[in-house]
């Protein structure tokens, strides 16, 4: 059973990671990594497009008054650099704190000049039977979309490609459309994660119906936990997207609302599926108990039938194993035969009894 | 047990079917079929009526400024044709995507010139004990009602007949009335599906009360799943119909509201029934556990009674089967008789004991 | 067990009874009866009062511009007559359909000239342990109160008496007051039905605590179902009455609102009681499982104690039943005595052991 | 078990007590008593105070235009007197009916000149393990506070004392403050009742963990019922108090609102506690099942260990108890010894086996 | 098991502690302590800062018209002093009552000149496996923040340090910011408490999966209770903070709203975690039952296998232990060998049978 390690991960998801610190302390609550921070800048407009890594100094000198900039910061362990990037774009320190705290609930924070949206991507790790997650933070300004992620490698390479193409939709629409696409891609990944769990539930159901095992009992518990974690993170997203699709803010074009509504629609579908799997998982537990009880019933019945047949006849042969001097039956010519007949009658009688009770 | 295949189907119902694709990709998420797309056109007005299959080119040349057109597209595997039909009538590409994605939740999308409503029809397949479903998409424009379905054969033949009759209500009312009738017929089919499940639940209840079996345990699980799938699809319909009955839109006559309210009423009744069957199914699981436990109790009691009678007397006969040289009882004239008397007393004593404990 | 027949009845309650029919088909969904339709007319005003049976022709010629008319139609199997009555009073054909469909949910339909309210009366059939129900439809017009019922015999005879008395409240108030009284009497009958179930629950609880039986397991299931059916029909009534107590309609006097509020109050009390009984019934099922498990525990303990005492001593006597030529103990003068002492010591030892484990 | 008698009481709480009666019938639904009705009048103003019993005639002649009157009617069995008191103060007959029906839900009825509030006081009867309740009805008019109670003896003696003191708050404030104090004292009594149940739950938990018994199974059921009854009556109180704290009515001073808010606060706390105890009680039932199952597991393990040790060795000694003429082992010099060694090896083998399975 | 003592504490949390007392009685409902009341005064403004203990007389002479005062009263047992402090600052007597009643729900009371907020801090006592709590009351006036706590020692020392530093944020912002920080620190402590429970749940899960024990059954119950207590106190906090973040009041700066929103965010996260742990704990109970049942199944199977092998062969050897004079088999040359062969065949037969039933 790898449950311990899994639940360790699960438990951590719930922690604040910074108990006892004064508010305003900028601390990265994820696993410290030696990894360098990478600042990836994609600049694009109708006519231009470049994609390069920049140092923090270059970022500070960047003039973002023209065109559209997607600045993606990979790695959160260097708190100073995160702070400098945020300061450059005038982000409130409460949000810097939130970016660094990887245990954030999805939310939408509306400031005068920008929007802040943190949320998680999920990936089902089939080898360890657990959901891996990574926190993304999005800050949408007028000309800049800032994104923060913990590790290199993400689900957005398709998008990066499309931006590089002169006639792609994302190249020609605003940053709010890009922002929508990032969220949309992430939500589509939720489907993948939940479908993996769904496949396991299906297998588990078949295994349990055939024969319940201890590891199945543990698995139901594991899925219960992982589904609950996913649920906890997808639920608040509904409100975030609903508010985005109604928001009236300079960085959002009114045309983009329809798209947020579309992601909201997908999110509701994800939530529906999560709820359904949650119920299926619950019912697996009951299925398990019923199957175990049924199987025990069968085992006990076997024991009872065997015992009920043999205990009486064993008693009979015990009688004639006694050593009394005067036992008239022992000297009968057909005594032994009579005992056999008696025992056969007992067996027939019991069979009739069991038949009536419908045990066969 | 055919559970695997069933749950395979069930699981698929929850998938998006297009993970990893960029939004805007037009992909049919159902089973690919070699089947040709059929475009069925029913044109009718007070005085005219024709019903014929058309090619996509004919559709593109169709002048729909006069009369009422019901254009039904059967088969979704040829994405190009779907796209051309939709483009002809100015349908937004997001909806073309939705038409092709057969895993859509029921919803009402209100555009300036048309309404888009996708939803499922359900059919209970009794041989395989599962719900089969097919996605229908309805687009209601001013003079045209577009419908899309996956397979040939539907529940609407009665309606086609009635349109052909000069004095039928549907012939003389607007397309919104026809639209209502299509929904109404589909919801009526939900009753049929749920009643089939209801009949099975009833039989199952009787079987469980008499004698629980493994296949029953599996069945409760199967019904649980199928009821949950149906529920997931009928629930959102309530909102769709509520909004239709309140909608103020050029393609809807104010007179039709009353009819949508009527279907809403039926839908609420379907939901009520689903909820009731869901609870009945839950309680069947508990019934099962209680019956199994009760039956085990009875079996164990039988074993205990048999054992309790025979174990002591077998011990007694065992005593006199010992081969000690000096066992005074063995030589008694009536020793054997006394042993029988002793054993009968033991049996009487135990019977009195069981009577007191009310085991008989 | 009469469960099958009961659940048959229960299941039917959920059906639409007319699947596959076009809307607008007028079909009686109850059991066809050869019974004649009776049309009972009570005419009353401050000064006049008559009560007689009329034919459908007489009804069509009736002038209802003066006084108050309560027209009660008994029996729904003759669809034509129902239609003629409704046409006479200008009732919309959707409601005629509803009157004939005995599987209607309670609802309030507000038309310009009249109100339509269908709902059920319930009667607990103690012999068959099921709720019997009958659908009533009320149509309240300005001068006429139309009521439709399936069978002769109802709970309204008290009211008929009171109308005949010159100084009774119902005689002197409007038809809306009579309408209220009919609903009020019916809701009062709900109390009676639910109290019957309550009495059974109470008995069942006592029986289960003493000794669980299979029929009890079935009964919990039966009550669960019947309570759910009642619940399904009483719940919507709350909204109906709430809307009646707020309705502003020519056929309702503002003074009558207070009375509808009073029935609403009773209905909420019925719902409370239903919910309470539902929870009590749920807890009976758990009580049952716990009692069965407890009893099994006791039975198994008995078996274990008996076995644990006798199995070792039976082994001991078995040893000395062996026929080895050289078994020194067999020839000892007090061998037999020693065996008895040994066995008594074993019994004492086990008793001490059980005492420590607190099994006695 | 005294469950029957308790549940009898519980069941009655849900009845209307007057099924089949026409509305408007004035019937006392409690237990008929020969007891006289006592009418207690406390008259007080800043300067005056008297407290005396009056006859109904004196009440009818009472001039209540001056000062504040608290008129408390004890005993509801004489319907006539109740009616005369109510008529004297112009109370609507629907409320007279409600006063007499002791199965009223708490509610607030706002009339032009007065407020009507019925509610229950609860008392935990520890000897019979049930909640006793009594219905109080309060009618607050401009100069008069009418209260009705079923039996003599209540929780208000403290208040009567304080009114008699010239400088007490209640003497100097209006009747609405007295009304608040009566409710406040009653709600404080709810705490007492629920805390008694809480103490029992705590004891029960400890008993169950040590050793589950049948009477515990019954107790969990009893507490479930009593908690549900209390809950049913306290829940509606929340709305009553909320509306009182917002009411704008001539008999209520705006200053008193704050006090009703305070009782509302207490009521919410009572509800919280009830909900918590309800959940604790539910979890006791599961605790019980788990404890019983665990204990059975232990018992069965004991049986299995004993059987598994002795059944094989008993078989071995049985072999050498056979009487075959040619059994070579029997004649061996050390045959008997070898059998013992064999049996000891079997025992050691089984011990090793059990150790591995961690049964010890 | 230390459950009793724990639940004692838990139960007390729900009590009002002052049943039967008239409202307005000032009584400390906590444990009486001989401890002196300490009044700690921190005075600070941009330029000044002092921190000293004062007597009640000094407090009464304090001029608070200048600068910001945080007055912290430690110990509630001397009711007089509490009253004098409150009177000095014009606090309504209802709130003095609330300060002394340590069983207060979190709430926000808005008065014209001040806000009153009571709430609890929680600390997980790992030795006794229970949550310890202490009630804090905050009263925020224009220039004074009054805080009341039961015992010396709290989580606020970090804050006291920061106030003493000339350039700290808390020194330079208003008292409302200090008020926010006190709440924020307390909510952060909730995380710590709940994470401790989380760690225990994780360990428990692993223990149960390996082997369920009685103490685990008790632990699940204990965690259930403690989680419910925490839940009860954190839930109302959500509303308090929501209202604070929307409040328009002279003692609150509009800038502080954002901070209250931030704590609200944390509180929602605490609530989410509590709900998740609650569900995990519930599922542990079911896990327990399933594991116990599974283990019992295994034990019973062992017993059945042993019995089924040995009972028939024991019967066979019993037959040839009979002492009939005429038993032909006994005299056979290979009779003994045949019996062995017969028994081996029986064993093989049973093994085949068990294999088929998949018991091995």
Alpha-carbon gap, residue E18 to A182, rounded angstroms: 58
Instruction: Name the CATH superfamily for A3-291.
Output: CorA soluble domain-like (3.30.460.20)
Chain D touched by C167 (CB under 8 Å) = no
Band the pLDDT of B126: cuts 50, 70, 90.
confident
Tell the burial category of E199 from Cβ atoms under 10 Å away from its Cβ (0-12, 13-18, 19+): middle
B21-37 core/surface letters (b: 16 or more CB in 10 A; e: else): bbbeebebbbeeeeeeb
Alpha-carbon gap, residue D277 to D224, rounded angstroms: 9
Say yes or no for a CB contact (<8 Å) between A205 and B221: yes
Three-class DSSP category at A139: strand
- Residue A247: per-residue pLDDT: 86
Does residue D115 have a pLDDT over 90?
A: yes
Q: Which chains touch A (3 or more CB pairs under 8 A)?
A: B, E
Band the pLDDT of E2: cuts 50, 70, 90.
very low
The answer to whether C64 and C45 have CB atoms below 8 angstroms apart is no
The answer to whether C64 and C106 have CB atoms below 8 angstroms apart is no
Tokens of B20: 């990893």
- Residue A63: per-residue pLDDT: 86
Select from C202, C206, C259 the Cβ nearest to the Cβ of D11. C202
- Residue E360: per-residue pLDDT: 63
Q: How far from E331 is each of A245, A316, D327, CA to CA, in Å?
A: 98, 22, 10
Tokens of E199: 């760690």
Length of chain C: 360
The answer to whether C103 and C13 have CB atoms below 8 angstroms apart is yes
Strands of the sheet containing D144-149, edge to edge, are D49-54, D38-44, D68-74, D144-149, D130-140, D115-125, D109-110
pLDDT by residue for chain A (360 residues), tens only, comes to 333 333 333 334 344 444 445 555 667 777 666 567 889 999 988 788 888 888 888 888 888 888 899 999 998 888 889 999 999 999 988 888 888 888 888 999 888 899 999 988 988 888 888 888 888 999 999 999 999 998 887 788 888 888 888 878 888 888 999 999 999 999 988 988 888 898 899 889 888 888 778 778 888 888 988 898 888 889 899 999 999 998 889 899 888 888 898 899 889 989 988 988 888 898 899 899 999 999 888 889 888 888 889 999 999 989 888 888 888 888 888 888 898 999 999 999 999 988 888 776
Tell me the mean pLDDT in the region D56-70: 87
Select from A259, A300, A314 the Cβ nearest to the Cβ of B314. A314
Using one digit for the tens of pLDDT, what is the confidence trace for E260-281? 988 998 899 899 889 888 888 9
Nearest CA in chain A to E306: A303
Please give the biggest Cα pair distance in chain C.
120
Architecture of domain A301-356: Up-down Bundle (1.20)
CATH 3.40.50.300 at E3-8+21-291, yes or no:
no
Chain A touched by B33 (CB under 8 Å) = no
Does residue C51 have a pLDDT over 80?
A: yes
Band the pLDDT of B9: cuts 50, 70, 90.
very low
Angle at E53 between CA E49 and CA E59, to 5 degrees: 90
Using DSSP bridges, classify how beta strands D144-149 and D115-125 pair: parallel, antiparallel or unpaired: unpaired
Band the pLDDT of E12: cuts 50, 70, 90.
very low
The more confidently predicted of residues B150 and D18 is B150
Using one digit for the tens of pLDDT, what is the confidence trace for D222-263? 898 888 888 888 989 999 999 999 888 989 988 888 889 889
Tell me the mean pLDDT in the region B305-326: 88
Alpha-carbon gap, residue D225 to C276, rounded angstroms: 9
Q: For helices C257-319 and C214-246, give the axis angle rounded to 10 degrees.
A: 160
Using one digit for the tens of pLDDT, what is the confidence trace for E300-355? 888 888 888 999 999 998 988 888 888 888 888 888 889 899 999 999 999 998 88
Instruction: Name the CATH superfamily for D28-291.
Output: CorA soluble domain-like (3.30.460.20)
Tokens of A156: 């957005």
* E64: CB partners within 8 A, 6+ apart: E143, E144
Say yes or no for a CB contact (<8 Å) between D1 and C301: no
Tell me the mean pLDDT in the region B163-181: 87
D1-16 core/surface letters (b: 16 or more CB in 10 A; e: else): eebeebbebbbbbbbb
The answer to whether B56 and B39 have CB atoms below 8 angstroms apart is yes
- Residue B11: per-residue pLDDT: 37
Best CA proximity match to B227, nearest among A276, A200, C17, C9: A276
Say yes or no for a CB contact (<8 Å) between D16 and C266: yes
Chain A touched by E318 (CB under 8 Å) = yes
Does residue E203 have a pLDDT over 80?
A: yes
Three-class DSSP category at E111: coil
The more confidently predicted of residues E22 and B332 is B332
Of A328-337, B6-15, B32-41, D297-306, the range with the lowest mean pLDDT is: B6-15
Contacting residues of A for B333, CB less than 8 Å apart:
326
Say yes or no for a CB contact (<8 Å) between B288 and A290: yes
The answer to whether E251 and E141 have CB atoms below 8 angstroms apart is yes
Chain C residues 287-316 with a CB less than 8 Å from chain D: 287, 289-291, 293-294, 296-297, 300-301, 303-304, 307-308, 311-312, 314-315
Using DSSP bridges, classify how beta strands E115-125 and D38-44 pair: parallel, antiparallel or unpaired: unpaired
Alpha-carbon gap, residue D139 to D94, rounded angstroms: 13
List, as one string, the DSSP characters of A168-187. Answer: -HHHHS-HHHHHHHHHHHHH
Band the pLDDT of E37: cuts 50, 70, 90.
confident
Strands of the sheet containing B109-110, edge to edge, are B49-54, B38-44, B68-74, B144-149, B130-140, B115-125, B109-110
Does residue D275 have a pLDDT over 80?
A: yes
- Residue C360: per-residue pLDDT: 63
Best CA proximity match to C357, nearest among D295, E296, D216, D306: D295
Using one digit for the tens of pLDDT, what is the confidence trace for C202-257? 889 888 888 777 778 888 888 988 898 888 889 899 999 999 998 889 899 888 88
Select from D158, D205, D273 the Cβ nearest to the Cβ of E14. D273
* A160: CB partners within 8 A, 6+ apart: A42, A51
Strands (E), E77-172: 109-110, 115-125, 130-140, 144-149
CA distance D226 to chain C (A): 11
Strands (E), D244-310: none
Best CA proximity match to E359, nearest among A302, A218, A354, D309: A302
- Residue C1: per-residue pLDDT: 33
Chain E residues 102-131 with a CB less than 8 Å from chain D: 103, 105, 107
Q: How far from E334 is each of B7, B44, C322, E330, CA to CA, in Å?
A: 61, 99, 20, 9
Band the pLDDT of D138: cuts 50, 70, 90.
very high
Of B44-48, C9-13, C177-181, the range with the lowest mean pLDDT is: C9-13
Domain definitions of chain B by residue range: 3-291, 320-356
The answer to whether C45 and C67 have CB atoms below 8 angstroms apart is yes
Chain E touched by D209 (CB under 8 Å) = yes
- Residue B32: per-residue pLDDT: 62
Tell the burial category of E349 from Cβ atoms under 10 Å away from its Cβ (0-12, 13-18, 19+): exposed
Tell me the mean pLDDT in the region B238-265: 89
Band the pLDDT of B34: cuts 50, 70, 90.
low
Contacts of range D180-184, beta carbons closer than 8 Å, 24 or more positions apart? D180/D256, D180/D259, D180/D260, D180/D263, D181/E22, D181/E23, D182/D136, D182/D138, D182/D147, D182/D156, D183/D117, D183/D119, D183/D138, D183/D241, D183/D260, D183/D263, D184/D259, D184/D262, D184/D263, D184/D266, D184/E23
What's the mean pLDDT when you consider all of chain C?
A: 84
Alpha-carbon gap, residue B293 to C208, rounded angstroms: 14
Does residue B234 have a pLDDT over 80?
A: yes
Does residue D140 have a pLDDT over 90?
A: yes
- Residue A327: per-residue pLDDT: 83
Nearest CA in chain B to C92: B258
Tokens of E89: 């600052």
H-assigned helices in chain B: 3-13, 56-61, 79-88, 93-100, 157-164, 169-172, 175-210, 214-246, 257-319, 335-356
Band the pLDDT of C98: cuts 50, 70, 90.
confident
Chain C touched by B209 (CB under 8 Å) = yes
- Residue A150: per-residue pLDDT: 87
Does residue E211 have a pLDDT over 90?
A: no
* C119: CB partners within 8 A, 6+ apart: C104, C106, C135, C136, C138, C183, C186, C233, C237, C240
- Residue C346: per-residue pLDDT: 92
List, as one string, the DSSP characters of C102-167. Answer: TTPPP--EE-SS-EEEEEEEEEEETTTTEEEEEEEEEEE-SSEEEEEESSS--S-HHHHHHHHSTT
Q: How far from C203 is each of A314, C278, C286, D250, CA to CA, in Å?
A: 45, 15, 16, 50
Band the pLDDT of B41: cuts 50, 70, 90.
very high
- Residue B166: per-residue pLDDT: 81
Q: Which chains touch C (3 or more CB pairs under 8 A)?
A: B, D
Q: The complex's ipTM?
A: 0.77
Give A120's strand partners: A135
Alpha-carbon gap, residue C234 to C239, rounded angstroms: 10
The answer to whether E160 and E42 have CB atoms below 8 angstroms apart is yes
**The overall pTM is greater than 0.80:** yes
Strands (E), chain C: 38-44, 49-54, 68-74, 109-110, 115-125, 130-140, 144-149
């Amino acid at each position: 059973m790898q449950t311990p390690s899994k639940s360790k991960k699960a438990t951590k998801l719930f922690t604040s990671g910074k108990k006892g610190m004064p508010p305003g302390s900028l601390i990265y609550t994820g696993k410290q990594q030696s990894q360098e921070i990478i600042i990836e800048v994609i600049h694009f407009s109708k006519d231009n497009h470049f994609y390069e890594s920049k140092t923090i100094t270059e970022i500070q000198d960047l003039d973002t008054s023209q065109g559209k900039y997607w600045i993606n910061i990979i790695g959160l362990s260097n708190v100073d650099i995160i702070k400098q990037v945020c300061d450059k774009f005038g982000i409130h320190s409460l949000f810097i704190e939130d970016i660094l705290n990887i245990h954030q609930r999805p939310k939408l924070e509306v400031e005068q000049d920008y929007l802040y949206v943190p949320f998680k991507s999920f990936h089902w790790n089939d080898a360890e039977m657990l959901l891996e997650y990574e926190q993304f933070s999005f800050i949408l300004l007028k000309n800049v979309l800032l994104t923060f992620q913990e590790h290199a490698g993400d689900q957005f390479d398709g998008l990066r490609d499309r931006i590089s193409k002169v006639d792609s939709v994302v190249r020609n629409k605003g940053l709010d459309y890009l922002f929508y696409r990032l969220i949309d891609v992430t939500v589509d990944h939720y489907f993948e994660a939940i479908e993996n769990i769904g496949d396991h539930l299906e297998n588990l159901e078949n295994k349990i119906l055939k024969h319940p095992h201890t590891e199945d009992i543990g698995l139901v518990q594991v899925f219960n936990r992982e589904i609950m974690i996913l649920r906890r993170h997808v639920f608040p997203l509904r409100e975030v997207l609903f508010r985005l699709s109604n928001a009236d803010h300079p960085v959002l074009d009114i045309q983009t609302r329809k798209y947020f509504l579309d992601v909201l629609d997908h999110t509701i579908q994800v939530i529906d599926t999560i709820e359904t799997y949650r119920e299926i998982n619950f019912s697996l537990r009951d299925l398990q108990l019923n199957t175990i009880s049924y199987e025990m019933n069968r085992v006990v019945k076997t024991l009872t039938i065997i015992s009920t047949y043999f205990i009486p006849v064993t008693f009979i042969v015990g009688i004639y194993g006694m050593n009394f001097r005067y036992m008239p039956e022992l000297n009968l010519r057909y005594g032994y035969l009579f005992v056999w007949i008696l025992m056969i009658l007992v067996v027939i009688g019991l069979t009739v009894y069991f038949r009536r009770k419908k045990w066969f």
